[in-house]
Amino acid sequence: MELIPKRSLPEAEHKREFVRTIFDRIAPRYDLLNRIITLGLDQSWRRAALDSVGLKPGERVVDLATGTGDLAELACARGAQAIGVDFSGGMLRAARNRRPHGLFVQADVSQLPFRDASAGVVTCGFALRNFTDLNTVFAECARILEPGGRLVLLEVDEPRSRLLRWGHALHFQHLVPRLGAWLSDREAYRYLPASATYLPSEEELIARLEAAGFTRVSKRRHLFGAVQQIRATRI
């Protein structure tokens, strides 16, 4: 099946600004589109990600690229103290509208405004492919996590079986852009599936996390491999 053309992707030097603008634009309908595109499963993946790190009451959680704050909200519901970080003013406005008492900070994840070893858990939902420099982000995660702190990442992935990959491509690369164009923003929902090409392979992702200071890196697949969950422990 034909991939989404690479022209949906910005040039490297423009990526940061492109991504921020895209998310500012789609923020008002981001949650609605997420629920439709994932058939309502996205929150169950976020819950599973939080299960994997075994949150303790009162534990400090930093949710990277928090968007409208889904993961931060679910962590707070489990008694954690969660702070959501995002660089899109539009997404943070949507997060604050949903949760006026939630803690949200506007910042770039490659320069986190937190002290060394100040968090017990770092979470990040469906944002890795939007970052410009993954190594810097992983180094920042390692810096703010205390020794033994846990990291969990959710991201899109590709099923391994050929048949499932075909069905997945039909949904993710054809249906999603059309739904997005109809209900939200054409350019953004062309970029979102295309941006999966920025993701490193499983082996490379694990190697980069280990190089940043993580150990016990493991991967779990959701929905026949359409979604990956990476869990790691700070050395």
Ligand X SMILES: C[S@@+](CC[C@H](N)C(=O)[O-])C[C@H]1O[C@@H](n2cnc3c(N)ncnc32)[C@H](O)[C@@H]1O
Q: Is 210 exposed, middle or buried (0-12, 13-18, 19+ CB in 10 A)?
A: middle
CB 14 within 8 A of CB 157: no
CB 192 within 8 A of CB 209: no
Measured distance CA(235)–CA(222) in Å, rounded: 26
**Which CB, 19 or 209, lies closer to ligand X?**
19
**Which CB, 229 or 233, lies closer to ligand X?**
229
**Which CB, 107 or 164, lies closer to ligand X?**
107
- Min dist. Cβ of residue 182 to ligand X (A): 19
Measured distance CA(176)–CA(144) in Å, rounded: 35
Q: DSSP label at 10?
A: P
Measured distance CA(51)–CA(191) in Å, rounded: 30
Q: DSSP label at 38?
A: T
- Min dist. Cβ of residue 179 to ligand X (A): 15
**Which CB, 12 or 166, lies closer to ligand X?**
12
Which residues have CB under 8 Å from 198's CB, separation 6+? 9, 129, 130
**Which CB, 191 or 214, lies closer to ligand X?**
191
CB 194 within 8 A of CB 188: no
- Min dist. Cβ of residue 4 to ligand X (A): 16
**Which CB, 59 or 108, lies closer to ligand X?**
108
- Min dist. Cβ of residue 198 to ligand X (A): 11
- Min dist. Cβ of residue 189 to ligand X (A): 11
Start-end of H helices in the chain: 15-26, 30-37, 42-53, 70-77, 89-98, 134-144, 162-169, 176-183, 186-194, 202-212
- Min dist. Cβ of residue 74 to ligand X (A): 10
Binding site for ligand X (CB under 6 A): 19, 23, 65-67, 70-71, 86-88, 91, 108-110, 125-127, 130-131
